[in-house]
Amino acid sequence: LGPKGTIKMLVGGAGDIKLTKDGNTLLKEMQIQNPTAIMIARTAVAQDDTSGDGTTSTVLFIGELMKMSERCIEEGTHPRFLVDGFEVAKKATLEFLETFKTPVVIGDQPDREILKMVARTTLRTKLYEGLADQLTDIVVNAVLCIRQSDQPIDLFMVEIMHMRHKFDVDTRLIEGLVLDHGSRHPDMKRRAENCYILTANVSLEYEKSEINAGFFYSNAEQREKMVTAERRQVDERVQKIIELKNKVCAGTDKNFVVINQKGIDPPSLDLLARAGIIALRRAKRRNMERLVLACGGEAINSVEGMTEDCLGWAGLVYEHVLGEEKYTFVENVKNPHSCTILIKGPNDHTIAQIKDAVRDGLRSVKNTVEDEAVVLGAGAFEMAARKHLIDNVKKTVKGRAQLGVGAFADALLVIPKTLAENSGLDTQDVIVSLENEHDRGLVVGLNHNTGEPVDPEMEGIYDNYSVKRQIVNSGPIIASQLLLVDEVIRAGRNMRKPT
Amino acid sequence: RQQLVAPPRSPREATGEMREVVTVQVGGFANFVGSHFWNFQDELLGLADDPAADAAFRTAPLDMDVLYRTGETLQGVSTYCPRLVSVGSRGSLGSLSSSGAPSLSSAASDQLNVTTWSGNVTRSVEKPHGRNLFLQSLTEQEPNPSTSNGGNNSQKSVEDKDLVECLEKDVNFWTDYTKVQYHPQSLYEMYGSWTDFDKFDNFGTAREVVSEWSLMEEMNEKLRFFVEECDHIQGIQFIVDDSGGFSSIAATYLENIADDYTNTPVLLYCVRDPVTHGSSRNQRDTITRSLHDAVSLSKLSSFCSLMVPIGLPSLSQSSLSPFLSIQDAKPFHSSAISAAAIHSVTVPFRLQNAGPASNIAHSSGNIDMRELVHIISDQGRQNMVTALDVAMPAPSLKDGNDLWNMKSLRTLTPEISDEEEDPYSVESLVVHGVLRAGGHRASISQVKDSVYSAYEGRATKPKFSHLSVSPCPLPIPLPFPSIFRSHIGQHGEILSNHAEGTQPKGSLDVESIPMAARLRSSNAVLPFIERRSLSLQKFGVARGSLGTQILRDWGFGREEMEDMSEHLSKMVRAFHPEGGLTSDSD
């Protein structure tokens, strides 16, 4: 947890390496035997699925709730009271979160600074500072690029590609698309400017249809005729594309690129190459959607009735070859609503780790835009929420359920405690000094370098509202379930006692 | 009725255009089968260039480009690798890393720096899987092909004996006996978060894995890599271990393939390890198994062109046992048989057309996958579940009596009837590497004549049959299990004067095996389908039945259950003359 945690390098039996600081990845890697642990882990991964982060916090929080409960149960408290207390505390904490959160005005021109702060907070917990800061701009720009007013943000419209390269700092954002294949004809251009882009899902290959498989013909001549006819159909489709190209490009220095989801066979490639068209085949399905969002135009399913309006536009299309791997860059597009983050790293495990971090970064920005709020980080929220619970909420509860509220409040402290521990600080000192600041009415978090209280607002440390909400919500639910299940099992055991 | 007519050659085919096949393997046993399959191919590649090899391997080679691709590493070294996507559970690759390279030593991983983090690093290193003697010998081997004359010959054969022995004793992973270099895009390990792959034994257990979007996406991407570079793909051959959860993964994969490559035929082999046929412990288990089989058949058959179930409950007790001594408990053994049969089926896809004049000498009856699918599933009944029969080894032609022994074909498909006589059956027979009496390779025309007269001699002739012949036998690579009985000769001939009861022979004694394999669509497969159709109706669809809850747990609602049931009934109806027959019977 946090920017001072420990990164884990997992080496498998076959020497496969995985680097992670992400609780989610780690949990997926572990083979957990204990059923209780599996239950906690499942919750934590669900946390990641819904909000993209906070796995470690969830696990820590549930664990701490259980630890606090155990203490109470040993002293004779019935789990039911604790569960009731949790319920009250959870409700109160969520209400408190509503007043504590920092609203963010999104509108048409979102506050880029605050988005960057959130992204940076997330990324710095996964990557070293320099790299995290560089990626911060990339992920914020990527999300703002694909954001369209009145529509939910679809992070799939950010393509994440990787390339093997010496330095991880070469990772960059391409406003446009990078495809992981190239044209398949030696005469096609490898670089072209001012390109019309035709996004198509049309078969440009000769396929023997079912009835044409050869057994219903009385003679070879008849069959040959049929084959020729089929071939002609394909050629006609290609011809339609060439006609459109000639119409829009003739007499200009403009170029024409076909990106097809279906196949294009060598005779068709030949025809297209001769007409000066660059053609890519078997583009992945999701890229069809992305291409249209990046370049404009529309994806066509038939060559009939194609017009100039169907075409998209890119200022630059070029191919990059790495060994047998080819990449096609479609760049300098007009008004992109899709973009590509191109990750470069020296080896597979580094690439994979950066990729995970980028995904988390993107999620955090998306969450902020959708939540229209953030929460002060560095443990500030947890400190404040605890104080609120102890000072205001606990009194309103009658009887032993108070113990539940208390346990819940103390369990919240696990976040600042862990931050302190990871930084090699004395946890008790830290908690005491933070408490003092909060008692004086200051909202502070922990400076992981000095151990001193710090104002997270000044430092720009913000967490996602929805992530926090999810943690506060799911933690006590699981803890309660575990406590009550435990109770049922005990009851069963008692009943079987000989009388 | 049309019979025994070789398809007329289209002008395009006569130009000798190569048509690619992409292979997909999904699941534990499928990869065991695949490992043997690729070993055969690797052996063929070696033999084609080896002046000391049997002439049949050099003069009439199979076109390897159909299954292999030429590529280049980042360092610019050229490669020749299978066009393959292999999907397995995490950890199933043993000592092979998923990039296809032999694993890193643990010392090397200790020295790796973490460049993305400035804080603390902890390492958690799993105990590396040991590489057995055979795998060690692969990496040590210098590129000096068998110049094994004179003194070092004896020393070498002792070594080989050790290797064969080590494989007989200890094979845990399919990678333990693979000698093929795989492409980095080929191997995919599934990281199912909560899935315990040991208990991955029915259709429902894979639900969480399949629903994980990124997993299917990554599998699709791997396949796309290989399909994109094909100029004229003829089809996808898909091997699935359908005994457990992988069936569900394959079904989803197949559905995506049908979406993305609409007109590309998919030839699906459902393979099962004999050990998965174990007896059920209780009624719920029995019902779960029956439902799994029914759902698998319904789902898998929906998205492929031809489906070939392979996997007898026991090979050691089967009709193959007079020639082969197979230990059912060893997947290393049982997978070798399926692999040999699948190899034979692919032979016609790879026969080279050197033009009409020369094909008399070299091969006969090449067809591509689309034509095969068409022959089998559209000519007789609209049935796409096909039995696979194999003769391993195929018997020699007898001089004088030129009737080829059809009875030597033994089925590998479970739960089918022995009914041979079906006037509506459609067959495709492949015979390759068959010998004449005296140990000479039989000529193509001799084989054809002999097989044709065998067909003529049958009481009920099939409605249609196709024959492919090649002189090229099945090569037996070193890491092939020792499963041949002692009366099998060096070239797979059946010796008459053999000593009973000696040790089974392996790759050191047997160099090659003549093979015959037959795909057969006939009413023999009806019981296989009927049984599944009935169990879905009985346990699943009928109201208040025990299985409804199981199916619901697997994520199937009432409507989908009924759809699956209807799909199976339709498959059964294809066999009943009143509804199933095509009207245009020539």
* CB-closest option in A14, A29, A224 to B94: A14
Residue of A nearest to B585 (CA): A216
- B446 touching chain A per CB within 8 A: no
Phi-psi region of B368 (alpha: psi -120 to 50; beta: other; left: phi over 0): beta
A327-343 mean pLDDT: 85
Chain B's closest residue to A38, CA to CA, is B194
- Residue whose token pair is 């080819």: A326
Å between B476 CA and nearest CA of chain A: 28
Which of A28, A324, A325, A448 to probe by mutation at the B interface, max B CB count within 10 Å?
A: A324
pLDDT in tens, A64-108: 777 777 777 777 777 777 788 778 788 888 888 778 777 777 777
Spell out the SS3 assignment of chain A.
CCCCCCEEEEECCCCCEEEECCHHHHHHHCCCCCHHHHHHHHHHHHHHHHHCCCHHHHHHHHHHHHHHHHHHHHCCCCHHHHHHHHHHHHHHHHHHHHHHCEECCCCCCCCHHHHHHHHHHHHHCCCCHHHHHHHHHHHHHHHHHHCCCCCCCCHHHEEEEEEECCCHHHCEEECCEEECCCCCCCCCCCEEEEEEEEEECCCECCCCCHHHCCCCCCCHHHHHHHHHHHHHHHHHHHHHHHHHHHHHHCCCCCEEEEEECCCECHHHHHHHHHCCCEEECCCCHHHHHHHHHHHCCCCECCCCCCCHHHCEEEEEEEEEEECCEEEEEEEEECCCCCEEEEEEECCHHHHHHHHHHHHHHHHHHHHHHHHCEEEECCCHHHHHHHHHHHHHHHHHCCCCHHHHHHHHHHHHCHHHHHHHHHCCCCHHHHHHHHHHHHHCCCCCEECCCCCCEECHHHHCCEEEHHHHHHHHHHHHHHHHHHHHHHHHHHHHHHHCCCC
Q: Do A323 and B118 make contact, defined as CB atoms within 8 angstroms?
A: no
- Say whether A13 and B91 touch across the interface (CB within 8 A): yes
* Dihedral Cα B291, B294, B298, B304, nearest 10 deg: 120
Q: Which residues of A are catalytic?
A: 22, 55-56, 360
Give the residue on A whose Cα is nearest the Cα of B73. Answer: A323
3-state secondary structure of B466: strand
Greatest distance between any 2 Cα atoms in chain B: 83
Chain B positions touching A282 (Cβ under 8 A) are 224, 227-228
Could you say which of A7, A181, A220 has the minimum Cβ distance to residue B8? A220
Between positions 130 and 189 of B, the ones with CB within 8 A of A are: none
Ramachandran region, residue B81 (left: φ > 0; alpha: ψ -120 to 50; beta: rest): beta
Measured between alpha carbons, how far is A401 from A78 in angstroms, rounded to an integer?
10
* E strand or H helix at B533: helix B526-535
- Full pLDDT tens readout for chain B, 586 residues: 333 333 333 333 434 467 899 999 998 899 999 999 999 999 998 888 888 888 788 776 788 889 999 888 777 788 899 999 999 887 787 777 777 665 555 455 555 666 666 666 776 666 767 777 787 777 765 444 444 444 444 445 557 777 888 788 888 889 889 888 889 889 988 875 445 555 677 787 777 777 777 788 889 999 999 999 998 899 999 999 988 889 989 999 999 999 889 889 999 999 998 877 766 677 788 888 888 999 999 999 999 999 999 988 888 888 888 888 888 888 999 999 999 999 999 999 988 754 444 444 566 778 888 888 888 887 767 888 999 999 988 888 876 556 677 788 889 998 888 776 777 888 899 999 888 877 788 888 888 888 888 888 777 788 888 888 888 899 999 899 988 988 888 888 888 766 666 788 888 888 899 999 999 988 888 999 999 999 888 887 777 777 888 888 888 888 888 899 999 999 998 887 654 444 443 3
- Chain A hits for B69, CB-CB cut-off 8 Å, are none
Partner-chain residue, chosen from A42, A227, A284, that has the shortest CB–CB distance to B221: A284
B119 touches chain A (CB under 8 A): yes
Nearest to B117 among A7, A209, A220 (CB): A7
Asked if the C-beta of B199 comes within 8 angstroms of chain A's C-beta atoms, the answer is no
Name every chain A residue with its beta carbon within 8 A of the beta carbon of B116.
7, 19, 127-128, 131, 168, 350, 353-354, 357
Total beta-carbon pairs less than 8 A apart between chain A and chain B:
163
Q: Is B151 exposed, middle or buried (0-12, 13-18, 19+ CB in 10 A)?
A: exposed
**Closest-approach residue (CA) in chain B for A206:** B232
Most confident range (mean pLDDT) of A7-16, A17-26, A69-78 is A69-78
Measured torsion, CA atoms of residues B522, B523, B528, B533, in degrees rounded to the nearest 10: 120
Res B143: pLDDT: 46
Q: For an interface test with B, give the residue of A166, A225, A282, A321 to mutate (most B CBs within 10 A).
A: A282
For A354, the closest of B8, B108, B116 (CB atoms) is B116
Task: Please give the C-alpha separations between residue B160 and each of A77, A394, B157, B480, B507, in angstroms, as whole numbers.
Answer: 71, 78, 5, 12, 10
Is residue A153 a contact partner of residue A370, using CB atoms and an 8 Å limit? Answer: yes
3-state SS class at B409: coil
Question: What is the band of A210 on the pLDDT scale with cuts at 50, 70, 90?
Answer: very low
For residue B222, which phi and psi values (nearest 5 degrees)? -65, -45
Cβ distance A27 to B193 less than 8 Å, yes or no, reads yes
* pLDDT tens digits, one per residue of B515-540: 999 999 888 889 999 999 998 888 87
Count of other CB atoms within 10 angstroms of residue B139: 8
Phi, psi of B315 (to 5 degrees): -90, -30
Is A322 or A282 the better-scoring residue by pLDDT? A282
* Extents of the domains making up chain B: 20-99+165-526, 527-574
Please tell me the total number of residues recorded for chain B in this structure.
Answer: 586
Separation between Cα atoms, residue A102 and residue A83, nearest integer Å: 30
Q: Do B71 and A324 touch (CB under 8 A)?
A: yes
Residue A23 or A112, more confident: A112
Between CA B566 and CA A235 the distance in angstroms is: 41
Comparison of pLDDT for A329 and A106, the residue scoring more? A329
Beta-carbon separation of A184 and B229 below 8 A: yes
Length of chain A as a residue count: 499
H helical segments located in B141-212: 152-169, 207-211
Any A CB within 8 A of B78 CB? no
Element (H, E) at B79: strand B78-82
**pLDDT for position A22:** 61
Q: What is the CATH number of domain A177-210+223-335?
A: 3.50.7.10
pLDDT reading at A355 higher than 90: no
Strand A462-464's sheet: what is its strand order? A102-103, A373-376, A462-464
User: Which architecture, in CATH terms, is A40-104+375-484?
Assistant: Orthogonal Bundle (1.10)
- Beta sheet of A339-345, edge-to-edge order: A158-164, A339-345, A172-174
Q: Do A350 and B115 touch (CB under 8 A)?
A: yes
A54/B45: higher pLDDT: B45
The string of DSSP letters for B228-256 reads HT-SSEEEEEEEEETTSTHHHHHHHHHHH
Query: How many angstroms separate the Cα of B428 from the Cα of each of A77, A374, B363, B519?
Result: 76, 68, 15, 5
How many angstroms separate the CA of residue A271 from the nearest CA in chain B?
15
Whether B109 and A15 lie within 8 Å, measured CB to CB:
yes
Q: What residue in B sits closest to A349 (Cα-Cα)?
A: B114
Domain boundaries, chain A: 40-104+375-484, 177-210+223-335
User: Phi-psi category of A441—alpha, beta or left, where left has phi over 0 and alpha has psi -120 to 50?
Assistant: left
* 3-state SS string for B98-144: CCCCECCCHHHHHCCCCCCCCCCEEEEECCCCCCCHHHHHHHHCCCC
Contact A128 B116 (CB under 8 A): yes
State the average pLDDT for chain A.
77
- How does residue A48 score in pLDDT terms, banded at 50, 70 and 90? low
Q: Which residues of B touch A208 (CB under 8 A)?
A: 370
B221 contacts chain A (CB < 8 A): yes
pLDDT 10s digits, A272-286: 999 989 999 999 988
Q: Which of B114, B172, B198 to mutate to test the interface with A (most CBs of A within 10 A)?
A: B114
Q: By the 8 A CB rule, do A423 and A451 touch? A: yes
* pLDDT of res. B149: 42
Contacts 24+ apart (CB under 8 A), B356-360: B356/B9, B356/B14, B360/B444, B360/B445
Which is more confidently placed, A452 or A120? Answer: A120
Assess B194–A contact: CB distance below 8 Å, yes or no. Answer: yes
- Asked if A128 and B7 come within 8 Å (Cβ–Cβ), the reply is no
CATH superfamily to which B20-99+165-526 belongs: Tubulin/FtsZ, GTPase domain (3.40.50.1440)
Of the residues B95, B97, B115, B233, the best mutation for testing chain A's interface (the one with the most A CB atoms within 10 Å of its CB) is B115
String of b and e for A130-154 (b: at least 16 CB within 10 Å)?
ebbebbbebbbbbbbbbbeeeeebe
CA distance to partner chain B, nearest, from residue A221 (Å): 9
